[in-house]
């Protein structure tokens, strides 16, 4: 159910009135476009959502991108057959146009990744994603594992003192990654590339991992919308991914009607 205490009724009006000829649309994925699933591997992406994204991609002249913690290969899998511009791994990789993504950082050592993944034992309820440039440990199904995972991660980071890493906190998730990589820096770079350059970025996100994008929006003269929680200086707040999907359909319809 949408969180009516969080929703800002102005969000739908402002968002659906945007001029697609002058903006770039940037969307987080999990918790923003799609509902959080039982695991990162169990999510639903409807045909209606894909149709909305495809239409908005056309109406913006290609200035639309997905900005996710997921690897781009995973984004492509769940949104197939679409292959949209994307920022993956919280900024570790980027694809602006058709073709393979471009890595922006070096991978973590294989031994460190293997040691971190070892926390996801079959009986623990913990799931892992080895992205190469980072390792994410998900404990949605096992919240009591959080403290054990914190200790496990701290021990393994300490065992590799020569490797610069940092811990990223998400929704029931810990991710060990290279420092200095975040969605905000990647969005700043994306907005220098065609067809994004010269447009006003409009970002929609829901999690603490999206805070870095909200922070850079003012310098880019951009506009931010949150989902399900408050962030500073956003233009509006949607209650749920379902309301975001509704807004996408309405925005596409409004733009088509005035084209």
* Residues annotated as part of the active site: 28
Contact status, residue 150 vs residue 158, Cβ threshold 8 Å = no
Question: For the sheet containing 223-227, what is the strand order?
Answer: 102-103, 93-95, 86-88, 64-67, 23-27, 200-205, 223-227, 236-238
């Amino acid at each position: 159910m949408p969180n009516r205490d969080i929703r800002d009724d102005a969000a739908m009006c402002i968002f659906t009135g945007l001029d697609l000829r002058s903006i770039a649309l940037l969307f987080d994925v999990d918790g923003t476009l799609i509902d959080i699933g039982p695991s990162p591997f169990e999510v639903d992406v409807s045909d209606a959502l894909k149709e909305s994204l495809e239409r908005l991609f056309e109406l913006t002249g290609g200035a639309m991108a997905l900005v996710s913690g997921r690897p781009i290969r995973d984004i492509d899998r769940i949104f197939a057959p679409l292959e949209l511009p994307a920022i993956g791994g919280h900024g570790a990789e980027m694809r602006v146009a058709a073709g393979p993504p471009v890595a922006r950082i070096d991978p973590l050592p294989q031994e460190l990744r293997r040691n971190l993944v070892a926390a996801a034992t079959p009986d623990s309820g913990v799931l892992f994603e080895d992205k190469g440039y980072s390792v994410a440990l998900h404990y949605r199904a096992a919240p009591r594992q959080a403290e054990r995972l914190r200790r496990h991660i701290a021990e393994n980071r300490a065992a590799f003192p020569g490797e610069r890493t940092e811990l990223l906190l998400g929704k029931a998730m810990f991710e060990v990654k290279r420092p200095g990589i975040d969605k905000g820096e990647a969005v700043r770079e994306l907005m220098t590339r065609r067809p994004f350059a010269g447009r006003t970025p409009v970002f929609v996100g829901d999690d603490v991992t999206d805070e870095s994008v909200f922070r850079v929006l003012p310098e880019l003269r951009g506009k931010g919308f949150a989902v399900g929680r408050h962030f500073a200086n956003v233009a509006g707040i949607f209650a749920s991914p379902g309301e975001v999907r509704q807004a996408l359909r309405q925005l596409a319809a409004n733009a088509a009607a005035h084209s």
